[in-house]
Amino acid sequence: MLLLLLLLLLLGVSALLLKFVTADGDFTLMSRKHVKRDEIEDKVVWITGASRGIGEILAKQLANLGAKLILSARNEAELERVKAQLTGKHAPDGVQILLLDLASGEDSLRQAMEKAESFFGGSGVDIMIHNAASERPITSALDVTEESLKATFDVNVFGTISLTRLLAPFMLRRGRGHFVVISSAAGKAPAPGKAVYSASKFALNGYFHTLRSELFQKGIKVTVVCPGPIKTSNGSGATASTKRSSSEKRVSSERCAELTIIAASHGLKEAWISYQELEKFPGRMHVKLMTSMICLRTGKRPTDVT
């Protein structure tokens, strides 16, 4: 009898491990199988970087779930294209387009925020999805230019944080609000060739996890989403080319958007989206394992990670 129980336990553990290594998200995310529609329907959702890629797909999926959308990017024609393709309770006629350049400075961001707050009868933004990001060509850490550093941080960090600082007081007055941040696995572990992008995502993670700790008792939620390798598309809809290994398994953009919405609707603090098994280990264990594996791949000796 004891042997049978041990065998069943072993089979159960094996099945769990198999599910883990073949899943496209972390344990907590995978346990939330479906979107909580009532957390999305009729909510005002503002998406930056909505003219293509993950932002465009988020817009389509959220529209189908009945969200009231505000779409932002720098390219008005592309935003109009996305809007025309949306279907849902409030789409496409109820979808608002708001041109936005995150690197344009605080005055411009304040004007955009005030306009966003005025949409839909002045009901205010319920969910802010920070999706816009700048990513530069692959460059070694020592070859990074000041221009590249500034251009990346202006969008990924300074603009995103400034928009958050401007919008948060309105959410606080309403006693509710949710910031969803599309970060990256590169904000948790080394990303050879992408030092500046990685640094910007580390900065975002630090800011928004701290913001949550300060505001969660005041009704403000923060969800940080860390995707690993994703199949993204360029403006024409073709799969974007990369220099990553062709054997690397990637999560589709549609699945990434779906899991992001699931994570947000359940109010998860952080979510990992990736087929790469090591990226789904939590905390310090994950960082140590990822650092060691990356250094082995690049032929460099890992430094101590604390």
Look-up: residue for tokens 């890992």? 302
The pair of three-digit structure tokens given for residue 115, joined into one six-digit string? 């306009």
Question: What distance in Å separates the CA atoms of residue 9 and residue 30, rounded to the nearest whole number?
Answer: 21
CA gap 218, 221 in Å, rounded: 9
Query: Can you give 10-36 as a three-state secondary structure string?
Result: HHHHHHHHHHHHHCCECHHHHHCCCCC
DSSP assignment letter at 38: G
Lay out the sheet containing 220-227: strands in order across.
Answer: 96-99, 68-73, 44-48, 127-130, 177-182, 220-227, 270-273
Catalytic residue ranges: 197
How many angstroms separate the CA atoms of 210 and 224, rounded?
A: 11
Q: What are the Cα distances from residue 153, in Å, to 77, 111, 135, 136, 211?
A: 26, 21, 10, 11, 19
